[in-house]
Amino acid sequence: MKYFFRPQLLLLFLFIYLSSCAGNSKTDSASEVARWKEQAARVTLLRDDFGVPHIYGKTDADAVFGLLYAQCEDDFNRVERNYLWATGRLAEVEGEEQLYSDLRARLYMTEAEAKAEYERSPAWLKQLCQAFADGINYYLHTHPEVKPKLLTRFEPWMPMYFSEGSIGGDIESVSTKGIKAFYEQDRSMGFHKQGHGMQQPGLLEEPKGSNGFAISGKRTASGNAMLLINPHTSFFFRGEVHAVSEEGLNAYGAVTWGQFFIYQGFNEKTGWMHTSAYADVIDEFEETIVKEDGKLFYRYGEELRPVETQEVTLAYKDGDALKKKTFTTYRTHHGPITHQNGDKWVATALMWKPVEALIQSYTRTKKSNLKEFNEMMEMRTNSSNATVYADANGNIAYYHGNFFPKRDTSFDYSKPVDGSNPKTDWNGLHTLDETIRLVNPPNGWIQNCNSTPFTAAAEYSPKKEDYPVYMAPSPENFRGVHAIRLLEKAENLTLDKLIELAYDPYLPGFEVLIPGLVKAYDAQKPIDPKLKAAIEVMRNWDYAVSKESVAMSLAHFYATNLLRDGSAPKGHIMERFDYYANTAPAAERLEIFSKTIAELEQDFGKWNTPWGEINRFQRLTGDIKQPFNDAAPSIPVGMASGNWGALASYGANRYDTKRLYGTSGNSFVAVVEFGDKLKAKTILAGGQSGDPKSPHFNDQAQRYADVKFKDVAYYREDVEKRAKARYKPGQKQSK
């Protein structure tokens, strides 16, 4: 039989083939949705009377699926932005000004490297990463009204970018200005007055850190250990969550949007609080670059090593258009080249072990005792933080950092070192036993307020001479001074008394600064009668902040103006306050105080304006960069800046307004008591939801200002009693 070619048949076969392919695609999609629904059926979400999600899953992966779904319900905007930032795609949404933030992210990890890290993860971690992606994707599938700015699909390798806890962590210390100068303008930035090229916070910037107190049973009414969890972050940076599984997970606390582990929190047996240690764990290596035959090398000892190069193309939004820019990036064995100092290229080395850091961050939430916690800490990937610990066995502990490269102490690593000298290289990591730790000091308390660990437990603190200088370069601060005074006198603490202690209104910075002002006034001849009334207010002040305090208003602006405009030599705030109290010319002190009075009169109509009229809490929208308006409702707040020694930090500024509005400081705060049955209380700035239409957008605002903590529903029976909504992911919330 003869066969004849017919074009019509070819077209028919082609149509059938393409239809078959399309059908497979739809089947695959349907299969994925079916998988999501199957997992959602194993998850129960309970929302309590403050909107806190309590997620119950059969497995840890089920709990992670529900946790990410719940986070997206509360604030998908912040979940997405955190991953835009972490994966280096922020400029595609926010424009060219974010291009060098994106380049910084890509210098440390590309998408291909993130995928490779995911592939080398243990199977159980892959399951959690897949559940992370599935939980978000199922949320987007069931909420078509939600329009992502860019990320319409999340992938299981994305957590590799965001594994160590604090988004930003170490990488935000790398200056984007230096990256731009090197990669766009081919110029040297030099080093700033601190002698290096890393980012430095402004002198008047609210300290980004935290307070952590661990209290043994010696100091508590019940005889049980207690923990204060008091992170100082930007407001609405973390949500409050509770994740439970039948595989032993039962963790409660604060989760940074988009993470699948509780970052600062507790389970029934252990609690962990991270403070910023400000240890020296990031180093800059000045590389000597040699060009031969058109190729780049760097000198290392007697050899020339090739500089690794890679092309990176980034997109950025320009009006309605999307433009692209390609960079050739450079790397040595020390790390990526991040900036230039004179003719030296500078490589910045930091901890970058995504898989290990993610394992440590997650497994931390399931530890049951100090031995297990120490075994977890042996992983040594918690690089940017110190850890304050307490447990149900009565133990308290403190770890000042966790990741410490071994260095040759003949070099000063607080400044860039010569990368061509092999002796400057990192030589492995210090073991946990070699790092600064405290366990069960006899005084019965431990504190860290981003201050030196050498006062963490009064006379039982670690000794400075026992450790390399790079482990603890941070000086004391006014918050540390304040905490020590209170804890030395603390007895018979209850949760309520611990809250009272953590919000003690005294400001030790002003006990240093203000007497110097009064002394300057008393010494002047002739006496200036215009200052008399205001000086008398300051003379009689007890250095405590309150909404009613006029002295607080005067002191805040006086200190701010001194630090901004005064003549003090460089130094940290404690040194500058001492200078203005004892050394600065009396005329300078009085002149700046006079300007402060005039400023208050101009902005508020009178110099004797109570602090609560000035210092406010306002939440008008769910925007990440929120607007403020003096004409809109706001709440008076009787808290103050941590710069002045306030334990309950409240960082407030003007935003084209006359009033000050808080944006950072106390955000999520918890007090926890361990024992036969766990007890805890928490407060969250504003509320759980980022949606202004939600009843939980601002339902904790007044409680926050009044320091009225809510009881935590930790045990299932308590959660059931307070549940206002019960549902499965994909369903509407219903009682």
**Are 550 and 558 in contact, with CB atoms under 8 Å apart?**
no
How far are the Cα atoms of 119, 604, 618, 640 from residue 655, in angstroms, in the given order? 46, 16, 12, 17
Instruction: Please count the helices (runs of H) and the strands (runs of E) in the chain.
Output: 19, 29
Helix (H), strand (E) at residue 114:
helix 111-119
Radius of gyration for the chain, computed over Cα atoms and rounded to the nearest angstrom: 28
State phi, psi for 442 to the nearest 5 degrees. Answer: -60, -25
Residue 660 has phi, psi (to 5 degrees) of -95, 135
Phi, psi of 527, rounded to the nearest 5 degrees: -65, 135
Burial of residue 252 (CB within 10 Å: 0-12, 13-18, 19+) is buried
What residues are designated binding site for Ca(2+)? 280, 283
In angstroms, the CA 615 to CA 595 distance is: 19
Report in angstroms the alpha-carbon separations of 522 from 510, 551, 641. Answer: 18, 18, 28
Residue closest to 252 by CA, chosen among 404, 46, 105: 46
Sign (positive/negative) of CA torsion 163, 54, 232, 220?
A: negative
Are 204 and 228 a contacting pair, CB within 8 Å? no
Distance CA 85, CA 81 (A): 6
* Catalytic site residue from 101, 121, 188, 210: 210
Distance between CA 54 and CA 59 in Å, rounded? 15
Interstrand relation of 710-711 and 725-727 (parallel, antiparallel or unpaired): unpaired
**Which DSSP string corresponds to 466-513?**
GS-GGG------HHHHHHHHHHHH--SB-HHHHHHHHT--B-HHHHHH
* Count of Cβ atoms closer than 10 Å to residue 654 Cβ: 13
Token pair for 707: 């320091």
CA angle 708, 711, 717 (to 5 degrees): 160
Q: Tell me if residue 615 falls in helix, strand or coil.
A: strand
| Rounded CA separation 453/476 (Å) | 9
* Phi, psi of 274, rounded to the nearest 5 degrees: -100, 130
- What residues pair up with 680 in beta bridges, in sequence order? 672
Cα 314 to Cα 62, 108, 111, distances in angstroms: 35, 14, 12
**Cα dihedral value 520, 525, 530, 531, nearest 10:** 10
Say how many CA atoms lie within 13 Å of 589 toward its Cβ. 25
Instruction: Verify whether residue 175 is a known catalytic residue.
Output: no
Residues 573, 403, 648: CA angle, nearest 5 degrees: 35
The residue behind tokens 């990488």 is 171
294 half-sphere exposure, CB direction, 13 A CA radius: 0
Mention every residue, 6+ apart, whose C-beta is less than 8 A from residue 550: 537, 608, 609, 610, 611
How far apart, in whole angstroms, are the C-alpha atoms of residue 143 and residue 603? 46
Which residue bears the tokens 């008076």?
A: 636
Instruction: Please report, in range form, the residues annotated as the binding site.
Output: 280, 283
The number of angstroms, rounded, from the C-alpha of 349 to the middle of its chain's C-alpha atoms is 20
Pair 227, 655: CB distance under 8 Å: no
> In this structure, which amino acid lies at residue 331?
R
Distance CA 431, CA 433 (A): 5
Contact between residue 306 and residue 145 where contact means Cβ atoms under 8 Å apart = no
Chain centroid offset of residue 221 CA: 32
DSSP label at residue 524: -
- Alpha-carbon span 260 to 599, nearest angstrom: 47
Residues tagged active-site:
210
